[in-house]
A and B are shown apart, each in its own frame.
Chain A
Amino acid sequence: MEQRFERISNALTLPQESRERIRSQLAAYERPSGEVPRRKTTLRSRVSVIAAVAAVMMVLVLSAGAVAVQLFRNDVVVSGEDDIPEPTYHNGAPGGYVISRPSGEPPATLEEMIASARMITEKWDSEESINGGIYGYSQWDTLEVLSSDPALRTRRIGRKDGAEKLEHTAENPTNLLDVLTGNINFDLAWMNDHYDFVPDANMTSRICDKSGNLVIEFFRALYAKKDGTGYIDLSFDYVAQADYFGQAYILEDSYETAYYYTSADGLEYLITMDNGNVWVECRTSHAGISMHGAYLNTSEVEDILDNLSLAIQE
């Protein structure tokens, strides 16, 4: 019977047509260039920029069911690559890792950020913009605009198998709170008092699979400092099933500032700063709280974190 298994293994291959299709797709893949430099070079952030939804949790490899408690899976700050543990089958290291580094570029201007964010809405009625999504949800077939009211636009994007993406944009991000599922709860009242929201740079996106189960939910809002000297871009995502992946590391010397901060809500954030950029990350089993800001100091960042009243359902 072993010989028959071997023959089956040899015969059971990816169909040639699919192999060529997938290989072509991989070969044609282009990393985003000329994008507004709003993110660190991490997997999560790239996906966010490309597809306007965050997609993948970079977390330690753990068993699929062992995530009942809230665990923080932020990047680990190490002094050098030698400190990154070699994978073994016993230390949980997955055999691969990511090192996040700043690009060295100064932050985008507020005008560039607004222009970038508004790309989300400018093709609101166009089927040209319906493709793009998260892994496994990269192709869509239908688009239906449910509301074009600028206060809260809504559109439904569908796929033949029944999977669905529901998108909302709003002039005021507060209008988006009511359409969120509640897996990530937060309050924008303090933000609205201390920063100016940027109209039409705010959106949510929710993808459900063909059975109607939540796959991922994404929220984004852009706020400018009242004196116009800086901004903060908030990106929150919730992945229904954590996608176990690799641990990411930060080399401590690669950023001007890198430290962990625990907010008043008890969430652990990794705050990094470089050349005017500010990045804030809090990753849990299911959620990713990401922020990118420009020309904010640590006190201003910590004030934001302490006043969001963030709670994550794990």
Chain B
Amino acid sequence: MGQETVLNLFDRFSDMVYRIALSYLRSPQEAEDVVQTVFLKLLEGGITIFPGKERAFLTKLTINHCKNLLSRAKRHEQTELDETMLQAQPEDRELFLAIMELPEKYRVVLSLHYLEGYTLREIAEFLHIGISAVSMRLHRAKNILKDQFGRD
């Protein structure tokens, strides 16, 4: 894949890759490493991505890479998140930290759906789980958050 194409993809999707990686790893530093790794792979790989599939491909690549990192680490060290990393209103910052405190399986589904806009079906296929499982995780994740933040 040409450098210009990769840079273009980086400009369009680096934030998405960062957010997905963060939802898995809970570490801004490691999420940044994932961004670097994912786009370097594109650059070195001579890969062709089917037109229109770039976003899904990068999502899949990011998810797999994060899963590998977590699996490799066996017991992933939990990082204390710096709340100032999110330049947002205090209440949104609180919600973000609460999302990050959710169990991984809820956190990832919620992030893919609400932060990245993927449908339940797409998430099911990314994660190799059933749509009902995605739906249930999402429901439980939202309930946990609603218990903390009310029904707004």
Contacts and interface: CB of A to CB of B under 8 A. Distances in A.
Interface of A: 1-2, 4-9, 11-15, 18-19, 22-23, 25-27, 29, 31, 41-43, 46-47, 50, 56, 58, 61, 63-65, 86-87, 89-90, 94-99, 135-136, 209, 211, 213, 215, 240-246
Nearest to B75: A211
A95 B56 contact: yes
A43 B19 contact: no
B45 interface: yes
B66 to A, nearest CB: 10
B24 to A, nearest CB: 12
B118 to A, nearest CB: 12
A34 B41 CA distance: 21
Interface residues of B, number: 63
B53 A87 contact: yes
Nearest to A135: B37
B49 A29 contact: no
Contacts of B86: 8, 11-12
Contacts of B37: 135-136
DSSP class of B's interface residues: helix, strand, loop or mixed?
Answer: helix
B68 A11 contact: no
Contacts of B32: 14-15, 18, 22
Interface string B112-127: 0011100000100100
B96 to A, nearest CB: 5
Nearest to B23: A12
Interface of B: 3, 6-7, 10-11, 14-15, 18-19, 22, 28, 32-33, 35-37, 39-41, 43-50, 53, 56-57, 60-61, 64-65, 67-69, 71-75, 85-89, 91-92, 95-96, 99, 114-116, 122, 125, 128, 142, 145-146, 149, 152
Contacts of B74: 211, 213
Contact of A89 (B65, B89, B125, B152): B125
A139 B28 CA distance: 18
Contacts of B60: 61, 94-95
A23 B28 CA distance: 17
A240 B28 CA distance: 24
A6 B92 CA distance: 10
7 closest A-B pairs (Cβ-Cβ)? A95-B57, A5-B114, A43-B45, A95-B53, A89-B125, A11-B88, A96-B49
12 contacts: A8-B99, A8-B115, A9-B19, A22-B10, A22-B14, A23-B10, A43-B46, A64-B64, A98-B48, A215-B72, A241-B68, A241-B69
